[in-house]
Amino acid sequence: MRVRRSSSAFAFLVLIFSGGHSHAAPHRCSDCQLLAGIGGTYHFWSSTGGTVVPLTLVWDEDRYEVGVFRMASSQSFYNPYTHEQRQTADPYWGLSASRRWELIKRPLWRVFFGFGASYKTETNELSITRLNFASQLGVRYALNGTGTTVELSMRHWSNAGIRLPNRGQDFATLSFVFSPARLGERLAGTRAREETAAVTR
């Protein structure tokens, strides 16, 4: 069952990546960027002990994002009234699709906000519904001189109180940004230089 769910999650990401012929998701996806990293869960700025493995894809100048998230460990919080650690969620898979807007832009960093929808493979005390709203607030930073870009996002999934319980799934992710098109250009440039050097010898 878990293998089937994980396969469905990655199939969703591949479908969005390769099947779009619209303006928002061009077939060649020349400006697509793939983000991979690690994250953790929290609630009201207190850790709930969950580990998150994110894999996201952005395109159209970072306006659109789809993602696959593995909540890789169980989550729990300390109840101050009963003085007990209470488990709120088992490991599960999540999918999301969002529109992102740039709020602040500087030469090396920028702040953005995103809003869309998410889907969870399991219901739990954090949200009784599988389909939820998804919001995010993040910052993207280019490490000067290294060509490396990282992105930190604070994310929240919930159903806005439509059905209870609805504490919401809060988690933060730190990801490295990879550009397949830019990598291809670098490889092509390296190959061209090698061919030129071979001819001049």
List, for residues 42-87, the tens digit of each pLDDT value: 998 789 999 999 999 999 999 999 999 999 999 998 877 888 888 9
- At 11, the pLDDT band (50, 70, 90 cuts) reads low
pLDDT of residue 128: 95
Q: What is the dihedral of CA 10, 13, 17, 23, to 10 degrees?
A: 170
Burial profile 128-167: b = 16 or more Cβ within 10 angstroms, e = fewer: ebeebbbbbebebebeeeeeebbbebebebbbeeeeeebb
Q: How far apart are CA 138 and CA 24, in angstroms?
A: 21
Residue 78 belongs to domain spanning: 2-200
Question: What pTM was computed for the model?
Answer: 0.78
Averaged confidence pLDDT in the chain: 84
140: domain CATH number is 2.40.160.20
How many independent structural domains does the chain possess? 1
Q: What is the DSSP string of 120-174?
A: ESS-BTTBS-SEEEEEEEEEEEEETTTTEEEEEEEEEEE-TTSSS----EEEEEE
pLDDT in tens, 93-131: 999 999 999 999 999 999 999 999 999 999 999 999 999
pLDDT of residue 3: 46
Give φ, ψ of 11 to 5 degrees.
-65, -35
State how far the alpha carbon of 198 is from the alpha carbons of 18, 24, 193, in Å. 37, 42, 9
pLDDT of residue 180: 75
pLDDT of residue 4: 55
Q: How far apart are CA 50 and CA 68, in angstroms?
A: 16
Least confident segment among 14-28, 73-87, 111-125, 163-177: 14-28
Q: How far apart are CA 130 and CA 147, in angstroms?
A: 38
pLDDT of residue 18: 47
| Higher local confidence (pLDDT), 147 or 171 | 171
Q: Is the Cβ–Cβ distance between 152 and 128 less than 8 Å? A: no
User: Strand pairing partners for 142?
Assistant: 149
